[in-house]
Structure 1
Amino acid sequence: MFGDLMGMVGKLKEAQKKIEETKKRLDTVLIDEQSNDGKLKITLTANRTIKSIEIDGSLLQDKEQLEDYLVIVVNKAIEKATQVNETELGAVAKEGMPSIPGMDLFK
């Protein structure tokens, strides 16, 4: 019994290490998003850290328009990054979880 328990603890620690490694790797995965007309471009990591924002000069003339563009494009970029993040971390977590009878967490 204790051998099984120790094996499960070992697998959990290994899974935790893989999750941390994946989080670090996701800092290097870049997500690009832009407005439909290309006037605003945003790049962020899969961990949802903004790396760059490019704004066409014509948007600087209208504060409200620029704000609208920022909200729309940032939200779309965050949504994409979140999908990548959750997919990657979910796969690593599922792969590393020990099989515990009665606890089928990932179906």
Structure 2
Amino acid sequence: MFDKLIAAQQKAEEIKKRMDTVSVFGEVEGGAIRVTATANKAITAIEIDADFYKQADKEEIEELLLTAVNKALDQAEKINAHEMQAATQDMLGGLGGMFGA
């Protein structure tokens, strides 16, 4: 029983490490602002097009930056949830034998 629980914990750690290597993006204004994050929801880069930056005002940049960040984090959440759901199904399938199912 404990072997299966330890295996499940190891699987969760593997998923977390793999999610650190998966990049997601949030873009606005045709790529004028682009945010990159990991599937573990860590922002790794923010790019603002120089021409857009020169002509945009502070409030516009702030608003669009928030939108781009939220898009990236939303994608990260979807990927993370999908991976965890798949892992949970695998774990539950493996744990079913412990209970005679």
With over 3 angstroms needed to count, the CA separation of the structure-2 counterparts of 1:73 and 1:29, relative to structure 1, is same
SS at match of 1:32: strand
Indicate the residue corresponding to 1:83 in structure 2.
78
Q: Is the 8 A contact 2:25 2:72 kept in 1?
A: yes
Task: Tell me how far apart the structure 2 counterparts of residues 69 and 34 of structure 1 sit (CA, whole Å).
Answer: 9
Of structures 1 and 2, the larger Rg is shown by 1
Query: What are structure 2's unaligned runs of at least 5 residues?
Result: none
1:55 has 2:55 as partner? no
Q: CA deviation at 1:93?
A: 2.1
Which residue of 5, 11, 17 maps to 1:18?
A: 11
Q: Is the 8 A contact 1:59 1:65 kept in 2?
A: no
Task: Tell me how far apart the structure 1 counterparts of residues 29 and 9 of structure 2 sit (CA, whole Å).
Answer: 40
CA root-mean-square deviation: 1.5
Q: Is the 8 A contact 1:28 1:45 kept in 2?
A: yes
**Seq. identity, %:** 38
Q: What is the 5 A alignment of 1:1-107?
A: 7=1, 9-57=2-50, 58-60=52-54, 61-97=56-92, 98-99=95-96
Q: Is the 8 A contact 1:32 1:77 kept in 2?
A: yes
Find runs of 4+ consecutive structure 1 residues off by over 2 angstroms: 57-61
Which of the two has greater helix per residue? 2
